[in-house]
Structure 1
Amino acid sequence: MIFKSDVENYLNMTKKPGPVDLIKMMIYFFHPRLTPIGIFRISSFFYRMNIQILAQVFSYINQILFGLEISPKVKIGPGFFMPHSRATVIGAREIGHHVTIYQNVTIGAKYLDFDYNSDTRPTIGNNVIIGTGATILGGVKIGEGTRIGPHTLVTTDIEPN
């Protein structure tokens, strides 16, 4: 289960490493820093199972409870972390593993794209940190290990760091 990796990453970041079993995953599902990620993982699961209505329901729950608009179509690797999810929109093509995204970030197409054309969406590499208020638009590629500073506008590719 990919959420297990999200919990492990969080525990390592907070200096509480250790084995993660089903009980610990259930407890941390209700942690305010992990619940939005858990809800996204459920929404994404239903999308992959082609149960669109449930994928949308869980996506709406995230929007209502956490101010997080994240498409169930986004492929996000393990170890995903969002210290604060408020006012964040994630409509990327793909996000790698161990990516941290801070609050008030927008990742998506440059123009309205209701069909969710993946060519118009950013691809985020592994081990990337995206700072508060950053905006990443269009079919750009963000290379592995990149650190995007607060309030940065990205509209061109960034090479791996």
Structure 2
Amino acid sequence: MPDAPHFLAVLREDLRAARDRDPAARSLAEVALGYPGVHAIWVYRLAHRMWRNPALRLPARLLSQLARAATGIEIHPGARLGRRLFIDHGMGVVIGETAEVGDDVVLFHGSTLGGKSMHRGKRHPTLGDHVVVGAGAKVLGPVWVGHGAQIGANAVVIHDVPPEAIAVGVPATIRLRPAQAPFDAEVDDPAIFI
């Protein structure tokens, strides 16, 4: 690999992202050995490199399916994932072929970045930077989720989500986050987000 040092730096960055975002993580060694979300991302990064060479597309797809069997996380090698993606718990996460994921995104278990169409072309979502997709959430079709948006657990998103908004429900409705309530704020009154 011509840029192996860069590739290794990205893998180390994936480790640190998981350790920094998961309060249960005690060490980089624990993350490297015991986090299936990190393993799935690492295999994806290799499969994606292979996918860019048309002669290696079948082996790339087979490698992605081995990762799926081992981790319970399916990431198509054609998807485009940004840096420092963290897949928490991971089981049941699906990321489709034309999905695009920005930097510093968090996906919880059971979330899907899927399609609604059986036609070729862009059919999966695009997520901006710093997006959080809750457990069981489905983001379907070629929708755009803006920077800093949050998708609530079990929401079904079929329309664009503006930056810094919260999407909740089935089908998802958009709630604008109050400027005074930062992402990690502890709020006693959940109605503040309604």
Same fold (TM over 0.5): yes
**Aligned twin of 1:53:** 58
- Consecutive unaligned residues in structure 1, runs of 5 or more: none
- Radius of gyration: which is bigger? 2
TM-score, normalised to structure 2, is 0.70
TM-score, normalised to structure 1, is 0.83
Asked if 1 retains the 8 angstrom alpha-carbon contact of 2:108 and 2:134, the reply is yes
- Consecutive unaligned residues in structure 2, runs of 5 or more: 1-6, 165-194
- In the alignment, the residues of structure 2 paired with residue 97 and residue 17 of structure 1 have an alpha-carbon distance, to the nearest angstrom, of 23
**Aligned twin of 1:12:** 20
Aligned Cα RMSD in Å? 2.2
**Aligned twin of 1:125:** 128
The alpha carbon displacement at 1:43 in A equals 1.1
Q: Deviations over 1:42-100 (max 9, x none)?
A: 11121124421221121111221122221111110110111122112111531000111
Asked if 1 retains the 8 angstrom alpha-carbon contact of 2:40 and 2:68, the reply is no
One of 86, 90, 94 as aligned partner of 1:89: 94
Report which structure shows greater RCO (CA 8 Å, sep ≥6): 1
Asked if 2 retains the 8 angstrom alpha-carbon contact of 1:87 and 1:105, the reply is yes
**Aligned twin of 2:137:** 134
The alpha carbon displacement at 1:3 in A equals 2.1
**Aligned twin of 1:36:** 40
Q: 1:45 to 1:17 in 2, by over 3 A?
A: farther
Which residue type is aligned with residue 130 of structure 2? N
Q: What's the secondary structure of 2:12's corresponding residue?
A: helix
- In the alignment, the residues of structure 1 paired with residue 77 and residue 104 of structure 2 have an alpha-carbon distance, to the nearest angstrom, of 18
- In the alignment, the residues of structure 1 paired with residue 147 and residue 138 of structure 2 have an alpha-carbon distance, to the nearest angstrom, of 18
Asked if 2 retains the 8 angstrom alpha-carbon contact of 1:8 and 1:17, the reply is no
